[in-house]
Structure 1
């Protein structure tokens, strides 16, 4: 377009703006790409939602993978001590190989007071590989009575050997010395000391002294009571021996038996005698 003076006429500023706007509108309508940039090195904006979520989750998964695995729970112990238990009983009822000695060896960390003292509630291992609970730091409440380990039962072979060996016979009681009916008072009192219990002897001697004066054949002329204890009739003493009439040992044995059966003891018989002057 030429100006009036022959020079090319430049489009006006307003016309130039309209041309640019038309080009932009046409470009958008024609599907030309539009690039928005804030500078020469600006990075295009991407809207990939799936990739963004994966990137956000990746650190969390990595942290979980690197976290240490929880420690395995310790295996529980095999047995809890009950009231009235002792090691030998537990070992026998649970077939512990090696008996109570092995059971104690497995649980020394729990049975800190030794094999003879166990408490209800303690956890015991019954075999190798079990995990007994450690002894509590505080002192446990004492059981009504600590239970001792019972000794191991003797084997059948040792029992047989013991049964085949005859036990020695108990020594026979020393026989009372034989005295005649005319023995001295001292001899008769010594004989009584060998038959009558020591804590009853003084009362026994008092009764015999008052009844017969230690005369084996003493006879009461009015009643007929006879012998050291003045049995009435004298033949009662036959229950202690057929030689009752002349053997002082037989008379003393019968007198002791009579006092025990009638009064409970020579001491009680002497108390009665003092109150009644007879027994």
Structure 2
């Protein structure tokens, strides 16, 4: 019996060798360690899934940014001056933030040094600064670089996904659209139109007065003639004759001139608004004036 011991295999601690030695007893014993090795090497595509999610999130961010840029551009539009316009009227009709002063500041180069003198046909830019600020905020964001940094990894599929996303978002970026200017309120070139335009300017500047109060005083002072002048009363003797629809002397016109209207005292709207501004200061309203004032 001791002779058989010479043929016994030396015991080994290696599981792999034990699997190989067991081949003589059947294929099942060898299959178990080989299957375990195959399963252990299968976990690979986690990075690609994470990258795809990052690309989708970055694409959504760029799409929102493009929308914000388009809105900012729509707000920025131009307006062509028509007869009867003033900066105050245009600012009011278009709800310009900052009123006529901001409108003048944005268009000083086009208007010139006198904000009260604008001519039909002059093109003004409305909402310039607010639109520029919005566009600047949108342009400071760089979603393309975010896509690249989140999409870069060792797999080729993630890289191709970034390229497709950039191409798709570039296609959705629309060209700038210039909004059509809102039609300006027009006034007839007669006493009725002058009074109505004056009332709108007065309302924008907090000056009280009514159509009837203005009309009644105009008819008494000048009979509706915008070029009327008094060359015989005490003011005329003093060298400052009363002028225009509401017979305003030059010092009073200069002191109570309403910004955004003409500096010409014979201009019907400028004359009415200055006179009503003076009457509001001295009498509370032009409606309270029933005689020489």
Q: Is TM-score (shorter-chain normalized) higher than 0.5?
A: no
Q: Quick check: which one's helix share is greater? A: 2
Give TM-score, length-normalised by structure 1: 0.31
Q: Which has the higher contact order (CA 8 A, sep 6+)?
A: 2
